[in-house]
Chains A and B, each alone.
Chain A
């Protein structure tokens, strides 16, 4: 889209990684890989459970100061190896009564000279329709993410 319409509901991040596309793709759906990088230096994942098929779920258990809190989880919506991955994303809630937030992450993998370009889009509440299906609440994970700021 070429319009100047406000698009405050999504963010895009990309990175060229010097590794073959198949390897980069696999690193997103293989638990032993995910625990090594997801969350960067600030958030640490202790255990990842991943069921990499459409409709399959993933759960990431946090360690460190967040140990014991519900971690991150979601459902795979699209898996096109090694090109494209779409999954819902929910941050853990520290309040059981609080409804959980579901957002959508799309990751695209393109082979380029020198490696693989990873382009990630994270959308807040993409449509009214999605919003109506869920009760959203917000979570303490933001406190954690805020530390990154």
Chain B
């Protein structure tokens, strides 16, 4: 596992904790956008949007490309994939656990470690 993986995942979760930032990412998941386009649907001032974008940028969740005087914002998918991977690991953990719980409770008489001995006569 990459050394800085823990830190970057922490930053990802932190950046994602804000609902506005999650909506911004969602918009970006459809297409790259200009900062002004992003501000519009949220009825936010440009500085307010810029602040959220900076947090997302620092968490490595988006890329900024300058085209002339305009800044185009694009989604950077790698950190999201890390977060998704974390979730998938836990999903497997809990699915495995619930399967085992069902098995344990539904077959209460089934010996798990006990070995069956041969018939005594």
- Measured between beta carbons, the chain B residues less than 8 angstroms from A9 are 13, 16-17, 83
- Are B105 and A6 within 8 A (Cβ)? no
Interface SS of chain B: helix, strand, loop or mixed?
A: helix
- Measured between beta carbons, the chain A residues less than 8 angstroms from B9 are 138
- Are B87 and A138 within 8 A (Cβ)? no
| Contact residues, A1-24 vs B (CB, 8 A) | 4-11, 13-19, 23-24
Chain B: CB-nearest residue to A14: B98
Complex Cα distance A59/B25, Å? 37
A63 within 8 Å of B (CB atoms): no
B23 within 8 Å of A (CB atoms): yes
B104 within 8 Å of A (CB atoms): yes
Q: How many residues of A contact B (CB 8 A)?
A: 47
Known A128-B17, A131-B17, A138-B5; contact A11-B101, beta-carbon cutoff 8 A: no
B94 interface neighbour in A16, A120, A128, Cβ under 8 Å: A120
- Measured between beta carbons, the chain B residues less than 8 angstroms from A36 are 100, 104, 112
Task: List 7 interface pairs A-B (beta carbons < 8 Å), by A numbering.
Answer: A19-B105, A37-B103, A38-B97, A120-B94, A124-B87, A131-B13, A143-B1
Chain A residues proximal to chain B, CB less than 8 Å: 4-11, 13-19, 23-24, 27, 33, 36-43, 98, 118, 120, 122, 124-128, 131, 136-139, 142-143, 145-146, 148-149
Beyond A17-B98, A145-B93, A149-B89, list 4 extra A-B contacts (CB 8 Å): A6-B23, A37-B103, A40-B95, A98-B6
Chain B residues proximal to chain A, CB less than 8 Å: 1, 5-7, 9-10, 13-14, 16-19, 22-23, 25-26, 29, 80, 83-106, 112
